A and B are shown apart, each in its own frame.
Chain A
């Protein structure tokens, strides 16, 4: 199975400051069709997960543009340009290139 490793696992951030989460995969996530099926999800406390970014860098509708995704191959990053209070929660990367699909362990973002 492809192992997804996120860091850090805990991320205290001051309001208005940037935040960055790394996600590394144990194998390349580039599929034979040229796409990279790496997605990012946010789970606010007590809520269902919500997709933020799909295929590395594509925003979902309604996702603030302070969120951005980047990376390639085995190395990916989710960035928040200026953290707001509503960003508190756990962030997961997930790969859909290889079966079985696998999630990272999650990164808990909190306000300092």
Chain B
């Protein structure tokens, strides 16, 4: 069965960077994409971006452009999301989700979420 297992919770200071991993299993990694979605405490879902696991093409939310980088390691079927210059309003649970290869927002399977807390 499809599984996405994310790395553990992180606490970071403002201005630091965080890198969250998402290890996929149960399907052919390079036949799909990965989208990242975050959820601030008590808030709704926010789409952050998408990466094709086939060729590394990406599409990011404009508000995060310049601060976010999504990558994949096909040898380990793992996707990564790095967010830099962290601010307090980046405090959220970060989810990875399997998406279509073309990035249609299909989000058919989700990871368990990674809580990132930004606090001085």
Contacts and interface: CB of A to CB of B under 8 A. Distances in A.
Contact of B45 (A37, A95, A99, A103): A103
A5 interface: no
A96 B50 CA distance: 11
Contacts, number: 68
Contacts of A71: none
Interface residues of B, number: 27
Contact of B106 (A1, A49, A54): A54
Contact of A49 (B49, B62, B99, B107): B107
Contacts of B47: 94, 100-103
B104 A37 contact: yes
B108 interface: yes
B107 A100 contact: no
A39 B95 contact: no
A51 B112 contact: no
Contacts of B112: 48
Given A48-B95, A101-B47, A94 B111 contact: no
Given A94-B107, A100-B59, A48 B113 contact: yes
B41 interface: no
A47 B35 CA distance: 18
Interface of A: 1, 35, 37, 39, 41, 43, 48-51, 54, 60, 90, 92, 94-97, 99-106
Interface of B: 35, 37, 44-47, 49-50, 59-62, 95, 97, 99-100, 103-113
Given A94-B45, A96-B99, 11 more contacts: A39-B106, A41-B107, A43-B45, A48-B112, A51-B108, A90-B44, A92-B44, A101-B50, A101-B103, A101-B105, A103-B44
